[in-house]
Amino acid sequence: MKILIVDDFSTMRRIIKNLLRDLGFTNTVEADDGTTALPILQTGTIDFLVTDWNMPGMTGIELLRAVRADDKLKTIPVLMVTAEAKRDQIITAAQAGVNGYVVKPFTAVALKEKIEKIFERIDSAK
Amino acid sequence: MSDFKESKLGDFESTVKDGAVDLLNKLEAGDFSGAIKIIQELSEARHKSFYYEVGTLTRSLHDAIKDFQIESIDDVIEVTTDEDNNSRITDASDRLTYVIEMTSSAANKTMDMVDSSVPVASELQTQAEALHKDWNRLIQRDLTPQEFRELYKRIDAFLGYTKNSANTLHGNLNTILLEQGYQDLTGQVIARVNELIRDVEEKLVHLVAVAGRVDSISGFEHEITEKERDENRGHGPAVNTENNPEVLNSQDEVDDLLSSLGF
């Protein structure tokens, strides 16, 4: 299980990386916005995407849409971890095909719960 | 002072009103040369008020520029080494950059300390668990004399390791504690920048009011084009969320919304 963490703040990437490691996901890579994340995704080695919304260059919502529009990438589960908490935005993200939405500041428990829920859904869909 | 300026505009308005009445009277009486004279007077009054208000606007603008020490473009391009030459805006921007650096450094140092503490705590846990198991066997008199001698040594080593680990953890916790000092320093910086923003806003509101008077005399109309928001860009963290029904206040609310959408 290789996870790509996309956030423009290295501190936040580090926090997410450490929390994922505690959950047993030790294989992670990082990118600082959608533009740098896409080429990594296109290598076909990423199994799970955790992304922020608000980033310079390509934003998280644009990255999500790009992933869903790409035949090779569209099944990758996407978890948004973001400070964006407007009702419309969450609806937009849901419509764009997000698998989970965690608002910052978040707890380790919330992150764990969402990730587990996503995997449960994937397993039950198989 | 601003009352005085407003009364100037008020003067002009009442001059126009009075003039209009006079003008109508003169026209009705057939006094065309008198009417034209009134038109000329009105035009002159308009010019005077216009120049007056433009003068006020220029002075206010000048004061604002002076107050915030905004350099001319040439000064901005030139690298100034003298800190006193920095404008308040540049200074505020530098201060905010400092906040970003400071918070980032504190967060990273704190995480460094956590990273170096986690393995220590894990090792303590592993060793304590192993010892505890054998210790229970000792209580139940289940140990061979050879195992007892080994346990004896292992407990000695564990106590030494525990002492060192406690020192390491203590040091790491202290470093984490001290790193939180960033809150004080950045808080002070942000408070000052806040003050500047309020100051700038006040001055801008004043400038807009003066410019509005110039517009009303000159008859200028500005097309106000609303800047379109790129919804993709996001809004950043929401503040004052309690008064905004459009913002969800917790993960629970987000979860409820998502589940109402069939998630």
B75 vs B202, more confident: B202
Contacts of A106 in chain B (CB under 8 A): 251
**If you measure CA to CA, which chain A residue comes closest to B260?**
A91
Nearest CA to CA, how far is A125 from chain B (Å)?
Answer: 14
| Domains of chain A and CATH, by start | 3-125 (3.40.50.2300)
User: Tokens 């995407």 belong to which residue?
Assistant: A49
Per-residue pLDDT tens for B128-142?
A: 999 999 999 999 998
Between chains, do A84 and B234 touch, taking CB under 8 Å as contact?
yes
Of B234, B250, B263, the CB nearest to A54: B234
> Is residue B57 in some structural domain?
no
> Could you read off the pLDDT of A9-36 as tens digits, one per residue?
999 999 999 889 888 899 999 999 999 9
Q: Is B3 on the interface with A (CB under 8 A)?
A: no
Q: How confident is the model at residue B245 (pLDDT cuts 50, 70, 90)?
A: confident
Cβ-count burial of B168 within 10 angstroms (0-12 exposed, 13-18 middle, 19+ buried)? middle
Cα separation of B193 and B185, whole Å? Answer: 13
pTM across the whole model: 0.70
CA-nearest of A108, A56, A57, A55 to A82 is A55
**CA pair distance A56, B123, nearest whole angstrom:** 41
DSSP annotation of B261 reads T
Window 194-223 of B, Cβ < 8 Å to A: none
Contacts 24+ apart (CB under 8 A), B201-208: B203/B60, B203/B63, B203/B64, B203/B67, B203/B68, B204/B64, B206/B2, B206/B60, B206/B64, B207/B57, B207/B60, B207/B61, B207/B64
- B92 found inside a domain: yes
Which residue from B minimizes the CA distance to A64?
B232
- Backbone φ and ψ for A43, nearest 5 degrees, come out as -70, -15
Mean per-residue pLDDT of chain B? 83
| pLDDT tens sequence across B214-234 | 787 777 777 777 777 777 888
Mean pLDDT for the stretch of residues B72-98? 64
| pLDDT tens, residue by residue, A43-83 | 999 999 999 999 999 999 999 999 999 999 999 999 999 99
What proportion of chain B, given as a percentage, has pLDDT over 70? 89
Strand A100-103 and strand A28-31: pairing? unpaired
Residue A6's beta-bridge partner residues? A31, A51
pLDDT tens digits for range B165-201: 999 999 999 999 999 988 888 998 899 888 888 888 8
Q: What is the DSSP string of B82-100?
A: -GGGS-HHHHHHHHHHHHH
In a domain, B152, yes or no: yes
Residue type, B29: A
Domain count, chain B: 1
Q: B108 to chain A nearest CA, in Å?
A: 7
Chains A and B form CB pairs within 8 A to the count of 75
Task: Print the domain residue range for B163.
Answer: 88-180
* Contact by Cβ (8 Å): B220, A41: no
Specify the CATH number for the domain of residue B156: 1.10.287.500
For chain B, the C-alpha Rg in angstroms (whole number) is 37
For A51, the 3-state DSSP assignment is strand
pLDDT in tens, B195-214: 888 888 888 888 888 888 77
